[in-house]
Copies of this chain bind each other. A is one copy, B any other.
Amino acid sequence: MTIRNEMLQLAREAKEAGRVMANLSSAVKNDLLVRMAAALEGGSEQLIAANEEDLAAARERDLAPAMIDRLVLDEERIKAMADGLREVAALPDPVGEITGMWRRPNGIQVGRMRIPLGVIGIVYESRPNVTADAAGLCLKSGNAVILRGGSESIHSNTAIGALLKEVLRKMRLPAAALQVVATTDRAAVLELLKLEEEIDLIIPRGGEGLIRFVSENSRIPVIKHYKGVCHAFVDASADFDMAEKICLNAKAQRPGVCNALETLLIHKDIAETFVPRIVAALRQAGVEVRGCEVTRAFAPDVTPAGESDWPAEYLDLILAVRVVDDLEEAAEHINRYGSLHTETIITRDYANAQRFIREINSSVVMVNASTRFSDGNQLGLGAEIGISTTKLHSFGPMGLEDLTTRKFIVLGDGQIRP
């Protein structure tokens, strides 16, 4: 069978299976996930053996130690995957929720009911835990899922998939609701991306290269997460202790992630006192500061920031710092250089807090909190399937609800249109 036909068949089976999944009760879906968790733990020997094959190949290809570490599956990580599935099982089921219902003058009742999207394709790199995490979220929300991981973790992914599919079979549910693409041929991805009749949504998870490849080649809607260039604006009225604490946390607590702070904007009225203080604190935390001219006037030994620093996503212990005239200039800077991910203002001024919340249209906008809270779990969505920095369908961290859509329901008693 050609790759084209193979992918088409796999997607068609998923679509059929999705119809069954869409109508399962929450109790059955929760039971499924809990049993899947047990299957992962019970099959840990198999998983570790399969993972060994991936690790051997990675060592042969001389992958960086950090990359190899991300691939590793051990008892602890298998337990974490299983716990993840149990957590998703415990979340409320979005399917069937009626988000509003009203009566029209002619007596028909009109409402909107959440339903699964249908078939979701996940294209990801590296970490094998995504296989279980994504499967759990997609199945709990009543969808079928097609998983296509990277070649580095193909054996681990296939082994995880096999254990999970076995649970579907044992429960007499359609095993095709969970499809793990077994080929590492990139042509398979290209074929999947054409199947707009069968697949409803594609979520790429990985580096910018993968995301661009998927979105440029897809005929199916893609939810993209480009980079996170997050900003903090320290307003003239800010509490300096709070500002320092938030900036340090946002930058240094875990600098390699997309919700870490990348640019700090400081109101000019406090620059003289706050710039030296925050620069010293950042230095002590091991952060390299790159500053605008005004910043350097108050902290002369700071590296000069160039035009390439403002849009930079360092993902490292580096921070760009700029002094701005006011909230307006801060907003202009964010509009110009930001990535619509997360921005925070530190202020004691009610009107400025309100303005910032209203006027900054990034996916997460905060007052007096660390950008590191920009995450599905931290915001209270439960587990997260991804973060969208484009506005259609979902914007920001995505949970179970974002894997659904809404249909209209109409209850009449014989009404016709005059």
Contacts and interface: CB of A to CB of B under 8 A. Distances in A.
A220 B405 CA distance: 20
A242 interface: yes
A107 to B, nearest CB: 9
A287 to B, nearest CB: 15
Interface stretch (A84-92, A317-325, A363-371): A363-371
A256 to B, nearest CB: 14
Interface residues of A, number: 69
Contacts of A115: 361
Interface in A334-369: 335, 344, 353, 357-359, 361-369
A44 to B, nearest CB: 30
Interface string A376-414: 001110000000001111111100000001111111111
Nearest to A200: B391
A391 B118 CA distance: 9
A22 B360 CA distance: 10
A66 interface: no
Contact of A108 (B250, B373, B396, B412): B373
Interface in A203-223: 215-216, 219, 221
A59 to B, nearest CB: 34
Contacts of A410: 344, 364-367, 369, 373-374, 379
Contacts of A246: 414, 416
A170 interface: no
A39 B369 CA distance: 47
Contacts of A396: 406-408
A370 B417 contact: yes
A201 interface: yes
A392 B253 contact: no
A369 B412 CA distance: 5
A373 B200 contact: no
Copy tally for this chain in the complex stands at: 2
B242 A414 contact: yes
A367 B414 contact: no
A299 interface: no
Contact of A408 (B116, B392, B397): B397
A366 B374 CA distance: 39
Given A253-B416, A369-B108, A417-B249, A408 B393 contact: no
B412 A365 contact: no
A186 interface: no
Nearest to A355: B23
12 contacts: A22-B361, A108-B369, A117-B391, A201-B392, A246-B416, A363-B407, A363-B408, A364-B407, A364-B409, A374-B410, A395-B405, A395-B407
Interface of A: 19, 22-23, 96, 102, 104, 108, 110, 113, 115-118, 200-201, 215-216, 219, 221, 239, 242, 245-246, 249-250, 253, 335, 344, 353, 357-359, 361-370, 372-374, 378-380, 390-397, 405-417
* Shortest Cβ-Cβ A-B pairs, 8 listed: A369-B412, A249-B416, A372-B417, A366-B410, A393-B393, A391-B405, A242-B414, A221-B392
